Amino acid sequence: MPGGSIPSFPQEIIVDILSRLPAKSIGQFKCVSRRWRFLLSDSQFINTNLNLRTEEENIILISPNHSLQSITDVGGDPVVLRTLKFQPGLPDTWTEVVGSSNGLVLLVNEEDEKFLVNPTTLNQVKIPDSPLALMKPGSFSMHGLGYDASSDDYKIVTLSYYDTDNEYEPDCADTFVDLYSVKRGV
């Protein structure tokens, strides 16, 4: 078994060390004790962790068979490629990686449905279309994902317009813009 221990190692320094860990280790170490679980779930800890883990690179891509793959490169360690399998019932029909923010990824599938996924925890949320959105067949949509620091929320923007048979001059009169707040769920 590696390592010994120091009787009273300062708590603040332990937090400083833990805030440099990859997400997976943090998930595991939430099971160390009640106190650690609380410390590692703190929003300030999470923000520090996101800022400090700059050496870690994740690439998300869609394979030719429409499954989702991630390539992880943590400075120095061997590169890991894995296929991301979400819960059953969510078929691998991904068509587009729209964008990412702080490790969350916005995806679109064949049905033009939007999903916000966390490639580490494999949590996924379907982003509903606005009831006022343009009819799906016949309209085109563009999407974007971003983090809004002022409200500590992730927001998804959808811009839709009707097909005018002229991709360079979309019919701007029938444009619909939808802003979805992940925190509020509307």
Partner 1 sequence: MSSSTELTEKKVFLLKSLDGVIFEVEESVAVQLEVIRELIEGDCARPFISLYNVTSEILALVIEYCKHHAETCSGGTSATIADEDLKTFDNEFMNVDENILLELCSAADYLDIKSLFELTCRTLASLIKDRTIIEVRKMFNVENDFSVVEEKAVRKEFAWAFK
Q: Which DSSP category does 15 fall into?
A: H
Instruction: Kindly indicate which of the ranges 2-10, 127-135, 164-172, 176-184 contains the residues binding partner 1, using the contact rule CB under 8 A.
Output: 2-10
Beta carbons within 10 angstroms of residue 40's beta carbon: 22
Q: From the CB of 183, what's the least distance to partner 1, in Å?
A: 21
Q: Note whether 97 and 62 are within 8 A (CB).
A: yes
Among residue numbers 23 through 42, which ones bind partner 1 (CB under 8 A)?
Answer: 23-37
The contact pattern for partner 1, residues 161-180, with x = CB under 8 A and - = no contact, is: --------------------
Q: From the CB of 2, what's the least distance to partner 1, in Å?
A: 7
Instruction: Kindly indicate which of the ranges 3-11, 129-137, 142-150, 172-180 contains the residues binding partner 1, using the contact rule CB under 8 A.
Output: 3-11
Taking the CA atoms of residue 132, residue 137, residue 140 and residue 141 in that order, the dihedral angle to the nearest 10 degrees is: 50
User: What is the 3-state secondary structure of 107-159?
Assistant: EEECCCCEEEEECCCCEEEEECCCCCCCCCCCEEEEEEEEEECCCCEEEEEEE
Q: From the CB of 32, what's the least distance to partner 1, in Å?
A: 5
Q: Applying CB under 8 A, which residues contact partner 1?
A: 1-10, 12-14, 16-18, 20-37, 76, 120-123
